[in-house]
Amino acid sequence: MDMEYRRLGSSGLKVPALSLGTGTFGGSGPLFSNWGTTDAQEARRLVDICLDAGVNLFDTADVYSAGASEEVLGAAIKGRRDSVLISTKTTLPTGHGPNDAGSSRPRLLRAVDDALRRLGTDYIDLLQLHAFDAATPVEEVLGTLDALVRAGKLRYIGVSNFAGWQIMKSLAASERHGWSRYVAHQVYYSLLGRDYEMGPDAAGAGPGRRRTGVEPAGLGPPHRQNPPRPAVAGRQPPARHCGVRTAGR
């Protein structure tokens, strides 16, 4: 069966209905080593299998094994960057310094440059904020992201684990200033956790949803164990695959 491709939210980018989460790549530390310890050679084999099936979107984050996931993914796609789409995330703590967490201008600028270096590329197809940073004005966050898009370092921007009001506040700022808009919302989705807040995307006002199903059942996203369940406003159909499903509008 041929892979189905869909538009990513309100963008013009077409992505596969399934993508591969790479939280197991380079697994290290007490949490990620229990997920898996996929090295570069095995990662290349997994990428080969995905591309043969038409799956060309690979999702990672700077917090996954302290950046090792991005490094292994970069090694696995070396020489075929034009054939793949890369999604990565930032905002969660990657160190103990006062500016090693959040979405401030200096943090985002440094995080993007570090991710580009680890991935071995000069652009990221989709950068998502891993959590909402209530301490930084949305204008600072979006103004910085828009500058990174205009500089060619990012193609699109999105969010992860945002509440509906946080998305709407951000979309309003983008509209007001003519900045890049979030086009994707990656939400927690596992065998046991299938409920999440229905944000503005459900009404066609916001970014498309990406349902994350790479977490072990009941564990929750890698940055938090036993997370609070979001407000229930609807249920998604049963998962048919383990991976990240993308849902465009």
- Full DSSP string of 60-119: --TTGGGGHHHHHHHHHTTT-GGG-EEEEEE-S--SSSTTSSS--HHHHHHHHHHHHHHH
Domain that holds residue 85: 5-247
What is the pLDDT at residue 51?
97
At a CB cut-off of 8 Å and minimum separation 6, what does 42 contact? none
Poorest-confidence range of 2-6, 73-77, 129-133, 219-223? 219-223
What is the pLDDT at residue 200?
53
Dist CA 22 CA 85 (whole Å)? 13
**Catalytic hit among 5, 64, 123, 196:** 64
Pairing of the two strands 18-21 and 244-247: antiparallel
Q: Is 181 within 8 Å of 149 (Cβ atoms)?
A: no
5 is catalytic: no
Q: What is the CATH number of the domain that holds 72?
A: 3.20.20.100
The three-class DSSP label of residue 26 is coil
Q: What is the pLDDT of residues 106-154, one digit of tens each?
A: 999 999 999 999 999 999 999 999 999 999 999 999 999 999 999 999 9
For the entire predicted model, the pTM comes to 0.81
Q: How many domains does the chain have?
A: 1
Task: Answer yes or no: is pLDDT of 89 > 90.
Answer: yes
Dist CA 240 CA 58 (whole Å)? 18
Dist CA 221 CA 98 (whole Å)? 23
Task: Answer yes or no: is pLDDT of 167 > 70.
Answer: yes
Radius of gyration of the chain (CA): 17
